[in-house]
Each structure stands twice: as structure tokens, then as C-alpha cells.
Chains A and B, each alone.
Chain A
Amino acid sequence: MSDTSQQKDGTPMRGEIPVAGGLPAVLRIPVPNSNGLAIEFRPRGHVPKGGTTSTLFIQSPNGKQHLRLDYGFNKNTGKIEWHWNQKGTNKVFGIKNHTTVGRAGQVAGNAARYFKYAGRTLVVVGAAMDAYSIVTASKPLRRTVQVVSAWGAAAAGCKVVGAGGAAVGSAAPGLGTAAGGIIGCAVGGFFGYITAEAVSGYIYDWAEDTIFTPLPELQTAQ
């Protein structure tokens, strides 16, 4: 879709790419048919001072049910390694507590560790870019409407497409669920952003150009 604001206002930069890329790190990405589990990068509940050793969580809103990718001592193998810990999610994913992960799990665990911070940074960068676009726009109100609409739709797109991605990825439960959800969230966030930005700009222009013509007064019969 074309961006009328960019054409008319010469918007120097927009936040759709960093916002879409960073949303999975800050939003709960729902996993369908899982009794309210969602993909996140931090635990629910109190985190010890030294932080958590887990990097990827598929968990309930209060964190009591969870599947988490953890790096630490695995008492079943006697090694410090990447492994799954789970509580109350075995029926959904079929993964037992203390299950060791392979190479893909190690890569995912490490990637998640950095993405937790990188994603948040991307969202902040996206917000700064959009704020700059508002400040420098010839029509700040129009640009504000676009940005607010874009962020709302990006969040909704992230959740909807992310849930779809998680469902598809669950063909490989756990890692596949997370990968599908995260990729779906980013894709949904991107298209939600650009669609809402374009549509809200169009509606704003349509409303702004609207002229209300008063109807002629009717003469009442004497």
C-alpha cells in the first residue's frame, strides 16, 4: 500500500521494521488450544536478583504452567546444559521435565537470550523513529493518527498471525511452536503496521477534505 504521508509530508523515517521485529520480545504471543499458554522471553512472577537461567517461556498468565528453555544443571544428566523444564504443559507439548535439547535448542536458547534485549531495543528505536516522524511532519495530527493506528494494528497483527504461526509450528512442539509464533508475530506486526498506517492516513485525508454544505432552509407556508 502506498503511504500518502510519505508522499505528501516527506516522512523521513517510520518505525514499521524495528517495531515488527521487536514486538515478539514484548508481547505475549498466544498458543492456540493450550489453555492460555503464550510465548514470552521472561518469566511470570518474581525473578531472583541474579536473573533467570531460562531464556524462552511458553507459559500461562501466572506462570504456574510453563515450558521453558533453561541453561543450567540438569540433575538427570549431571551436566550443565540446555534442557526443557516444564510444569503442567506435558499434555500440550509432550515434553517431560529435564528433557535435554539438541543443537537447535542450544542455538534457540542462546538466540532468545539476546533477542530479549535486542527486541526491546528495537521497539524503543521504532518508537523514537515514529516520534521523530510526528515532530517533523507538516501535519502532526495526521501523522499521530497514523502512528497510533499502526501500533495498535501491529500489536493485533502480532497476536493473530503469531497465534497462527505457533499453531503451524507446533508440528514440532516446543521449539517449533516458539519459532512459528515469533516469526508470525513479526510478520503480522509488520503488515498490521503498514496497513493501518495507510488506511488511517486515507481516512484522515477523506475526513479533512470533507466539506459540509448546509441544506437550504425550507420556507414554511404562511
Chain B
Amino acid sequence: MTVQFRFERAFDARVWEVAAPAMPTRLLTWKLAEDPVDAGPPEAVAAPLAAALAGLGRVVFAEKEPANDQAVFGAIRLPGILGATTALVLADEAAGVRGAFEATGHDWSQAAQWIVVLERSAPASEALTAFIQSLYADWEIPATWPNAVVAVVKAGVDGDAAGITARSEDVLDRLEAALAPA
């Protein structure tokens, strides 16, 4: 199935349910020849998008029930009376990044997922965990952006889009180039 990716610099963040910080941000949408039956990114979208994100750095995302073969980066506490915790999964390869679109408890298709891309050399740290926890607790990108964070991806409305915020336009250009038609 052929897919057309589209990056937009000007968009309504409220309609697309993505973060609108003061940093470089683009909205990624996709169009397929035939509308998928199921919500969430289909294979034709998930595979190249995961590969493009893995090409930028190490990827971290929330997963309530990590599988045995998933590397755990840490854990965060979710807001709420019960104060549940959720695991942060670390993925270096595209195959592992695909898990972000199918995570239990953080459904991409319900716009309940964030993906954080880190520098390849970035070790787990309290500052990074606090940054990621802030994403899931406050549902917006914090004002303080750690040096090790390359980009933050927020699932858009119905999982039909992704709001991508990066530390520089250069990162977004690289991502756009990676998803450009061959």
C-alpha cells in the first residue's frame, strides 16, 4: 500500500490535539490510497516512521506491560488518586520503535502516547525521567528541554497524525528527508 507523508509547519494544534510549544514543531500526516479499517498507523506508515525515528537516536516510550524482549529505560508515576506507574521502554532499532504504536495502556490511536528521541549516548538519568514524566502528567512539553533530547513526538487526533517537536529545524529536516518518497 503506497503512503504519502506530509509535513506542515502551520497547523491548528487544538484540532490535531498535538503540543504547540515555542520550539520547532511540524505536524506529520499521511494519506493512503485506501482508508484503513482500523485506527492507528497501518503497517505502511508505522514501518517507515519507526525507521526514521530510530535513525535520529534512541527512542523511549511508555508501555504499561513491557514484554520480556523490551529493554526498560525506567518507570514513571502517572497522575491520579491511585498513582499507578508505567514502564518506559527503550528502543534502538526500528522494530522496537514500532511498539510505541501498539503499547498497552498508552494507545497511540487514542492520542495517549508520547515518543521521546534521545541522543545515542544518552544514559538514563533523573532529569530525563522527570522530563518524560512531565509529558505524561502535564500533557505538554516542559519549558526545560534537556540537552540529551533530540525530539518529542505526540500522537495526534485519533492517532491520525503526529506532532513532532525537535531541538532544531535541522532534526525536522532530517526526519522529513527520511520519509520523503524515494
Q: Is the CB of B139 within 8 A of A85?
A: no
Q: Which residue of the partner chain A has the closest CB to B15?
A: A73
A62 and B103 CA atoms in complex are apart in Å by 10
* Chain B residues, CB < 8 A from A85: 39, 109-110, 158
Knowing A64-B102, A85-B158, say if A49 contacts B79 (CB, 8 Å).
Answer: yes
- Which secondary structure dominates where chain A touches chain B? loop
Is B157 a contact partner of A62 (Cβ separation < 8 A)?
A: no
A90 close to B37 (CB less than 8 A): yes
Of the listed residues A44, A45, A53, the one surrounded by the most CB atoms of chain B closer than 10 A to its CB is A45
Known: A76-B35, A87-B39. A45 touches B157 (CB 8 A): no
Could you tell me if B78 and A97 are in contact, using CB atoms closer than 8 angstroms?
Answer: no
Greatest chain A CB density within 10 A among B37, B62, B106 is at B37
B110 touches A54 (CB 8 A): yes
A88 adjacent to chain B (CB < 8 Å): yes
Among A49, A62, A68, A88, point to the contact of B105 (Cβ < 8 A): A62
Q: Are A52 and B35 in contact (CB under 8 A)?
A: no
- Residue on B nearest A70 in the bound complex, by CB: B158
Distance of A62 Cα from B106 Cα, bound (Å): 10
Q: Which of B38, B107, B136 meets A43, CB within 8 Å?
A: B107
Contact B38 A97 (CB under 8 A): yes
Picked from B35, B36, B110, B160, the residue with its CB within 8 Å of the CB of A45 is B110
Pair A97/B138 contact, Cβ less than 8 Å: no
Q: Tell me the complex Cα distance, A69–B138, Å.
A: 25
Question: Does A102 touch B at the CB level, under 8 Å?
Answer: no
A85–B35 alpha-carbon span in the complex (Å): 13
CB pair B111–A64 under 8 Å, yes or no, is: no
Does the CB pair B158–A75 fall under 8 Å? yes
Check A118 for interface membership: any CB of B closer than 8 A.
no
A49 to B17, CA, bound (A): 12
Considering the complex, which residues of chain A in the window 50-103 have a beta carbon less than 8 Å from any beta carbon of chain B? 50, 52-54, 62-64, 66, 68, 70, 72-76, 80, 85-88, 90, 96-98
B20 at the interface (CB under 8 A from A): no
Residues of A within 8 A of B (CB): 43-50, 52-54, 62-64, 66, 68, 70, 72-76, 80, 85-88, 90, 96-98
B residues sitting closer than 8 Å to A (CB atoms) are 15-17, 29, 35-40, 62, 64-65, 78-79, 86, 102, 104-107, 109-112, 136-139, 157-158, 160-161
